């Protein structure tokens, strides 16, 4: 393969991918369509500090929503990775189909790895928890099968046996998502 053909192939791939996305976005929306969305935003963990998060969402024809959001950070020998899986039922609670309330279930998996510089040993700690999902979602822009939406969600997890006293830990997610019906 010569160097001159690489830009041509990349250009062709971009054109084909863009055409497919445009076709999918512009075709009429079906009532039985499933919807995929890419999401990005910020997560806050109870300390008023927001950090970036990305993920994807899936909306079934019944309206049930599933999502996976990932965030983490790497500083020195420490690597933190968190994945939040959630599923819920949006309800038209605000007198409009453009804004919905959301009730559901959330599963969190947190992994922290520490690798000392003078050894090849890595210590890892993995924890999971199951909790509730509460939030609101709103459609910002809709054009045929293409949608841009926003959400403000709270994922509440009981900290052990204190759940009986209503104690919770929260991951607050503020996200924008864009996707299309397929």
Partner 1 sequence: MNQLRQRLQLSIVRLCIIFLAPAFAPSIASATTVIARFGPPSSGGGGTNPISLPPSVLDTEISVVTAAKTEINISIVPGILVGKRFDKDGYYGSGGVGLIINQSGAGVGGYAAIGYETSGTIKFNADFKQALGLSTVGLLTTYALRIGAGYEF
Closest-CA residue to 43 (of 54, 27, 34, 33): 54
Report, in Å, the least distance between residue 83 CB and partner 1. Answer: 19
User: Which residue of 148, 156, 176, 178 would you call a contact of partner 1, by CB under 8 A?
Assistant: 156
Residue 102 interacting with partner 1 (CB under 8 A): yes
- Compute the C-alpha angle 43/48/50, nearest 5°: 30
Tokens of 154: 């709270």
Report, in Å, the least distance between residue 166 CB and partner 1. Answer: 5
User: Which residue of 25, 33, 70, 99 would you call a contact of partner 1, by CB under 8 A?
Assistant: 99
Burial (0-12, 13-18, 19+ Cβ within 10 Å), 25: middle
Residue 176 interacting with partner 1 (CB under 8 A): no
Report, in Å, the least distance between residue 10 CB and partner 1. Answer: 41
Closest-CA residue to 108 (of 162, 63, 152, 173): 173
Site pattern 114..153 for partner 1 (x: CB under 8 A)? --------------------xxx---------------x-
Q: Note the helical H segments in the chain.
A: 5-26
Q: Which is nearer to partner 1, 36 or 152 (CB)?
A: 152
What length does the chain have?
182
Residue 111 three-state SS:
strand
- Residue 62 is given by DSSP the state T
User: Which residue of 95, 97, 117, 118 would you call a contact of partner 1, by CB under 8 A?
Assistant: 95
Report, in Å, the least distance between residue 103 CB and partner 1. Answer: 7
Tokens of 66: 């599933």
Q: Give kind and range of the element (H or E) at residue 6.
A: helix 5-26
User: Which residue of 82, 86, 106, 154 would you call a contact of partner 1, by CB under 8 A?
Assistant: 154
Residue 47 interacting with partner 1 (CB under 8 A): yes
Residues that bind partner 1 (CB under 8 A): 44, 46-48, 50, 91-95, 99, 101-103, 134-136, 152, 154, 156, 159, 162, 165-170, 172
């Amino acid at each position: 393969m010569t160097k001159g053909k690489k830009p041509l192939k990349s250009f062709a791939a971009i054109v084909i991918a863009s055409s497919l996305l445009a076709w999918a976005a512009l075709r009429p929306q079906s009532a039985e369509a499933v919807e995929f969305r890419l999401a990005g935003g910020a997560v806050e963990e109870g300390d008023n500090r927001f950090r970036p998060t990305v993920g994807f969402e899936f909306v079934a024809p019944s309206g049930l929503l599933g999502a996976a959001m990932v965030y983490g950070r790497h500083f020195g020998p420490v690597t933190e990775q968190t994945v939040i899986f959630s599923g819920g039922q949006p309800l038209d609670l605000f007198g409009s189909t453009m804004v919905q309330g959301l009730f559901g279930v959330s599963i969190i998996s947190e992994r922290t790895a520490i690798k000392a510089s003078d050894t090849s040993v890595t210590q890892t700690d993995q924890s999971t928890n199951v909790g509730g999902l509460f939030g609101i979602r709103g459609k910002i822009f809709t054009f045929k099968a293409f949608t841009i939406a926003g959400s403000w969600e709270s994922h509440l997890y009981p900290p052990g046996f204190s759940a009986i006293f209503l104690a919770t830990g929260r991951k607050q997610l503020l996200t924008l998502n864009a996707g299309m019906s397929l």
